[in-house]
Amino acid sequence: MRSDLFRTPAGTSVTAVTADEMRDVDRVAVEEIGLTLPRMMEHAGRSLATEALAMTSGRGGDIAGEDDSEVVILAGGGGNGGGGLVCARNLVNREVPTTVVLDREPAELDGVPGEQLSILQEMGVTVKTETPPEASLVVDAILGYGLAGAPRGRAADLIEWTETVDAPILSLDVPSGIDATTGERPGVAVHPARTLTLALPKTGLAELSGDLLLADLSIPAVVYDRLDIPYESPFGEQFCVELDSN
């Protein structure tokens, strides 16, 4: 862990963690505290939808043009993918044209992400495995901090597609293809305009280009105390804060 990498605009230092340390945070939050994965996924997805809405409305100048193309959400089979599916539900609830593109066949998505997919299917949301020709915004929820080696297969294909589409990219937690601990790119990787990382920033995001924001997953401080992670809440009365590199 590092306490010298990130700070809020107000000057509050925010501890950054490695991928293994973040796994410990998730484990303690779920197994010891009882903060379930579906609860955290809902927080992540709603925060992601909030940023997507901000970008599609033009706040911050990220959207180029005013066409009628859709928000395209690229979703994998893990927790990041589930957060992307929650984001899709929130966008569709607000009548934002949205298409979900999976990195696998829908029948292969199980667990909590599979539950989120079932909700979207009941809503009649467009879910595909093929990418559309254009988008107004691409939401990258393919791979998270669990990346091991270069992206492969369909995940790699989706990452490569992001290089061809003329739209800003919003990544969830860690841009797909980037090692959360080191920041290395062992293969193809997404280059987002904005990244919304979750709970704590990851050490590998220190050299990331584009905006970096931190979303609150409602993880209580006792989780960090049990893991001896220095923690002072950076959120105040907010649920999302910008982060600057030191």
Residue 68 pLDDT: 59
Residue 61 pLDDT: 38
Q: Which residues of the chain have pLDDT under 50?
A: 59-66
Measuring CA to CA, which residue among 233, 227, 230 is closest to residue 21?
A: 227
Residue 77 CB burial class (10 angstroms; 0-12, 13-18, ≥19): buried
Q: For residue range 89-102, list pLDDT tens digits in order.
A: 999 999 999 999 99
Residue 183 pLDDT: 94
Residue 58 pLDDT: 53
Beta strands in the chain (DSSP E): 2-7, 13-16, 71-75, 98-102, 126-128, 137-141, 169-172, 194-198, 211-215, 240-242, 244-245
Q: Identify the domain containing residue 40 by its residue range.
A: 2-245
Tokens of 199: 């709970």
CATH number at residue 225: 3.40.50.10260
Name the domain count of the chain: 1
Is this structure's pTM higher than 0.85? yes
Tokens of 110: 């199980």
Length, in residues, of the chain: 246
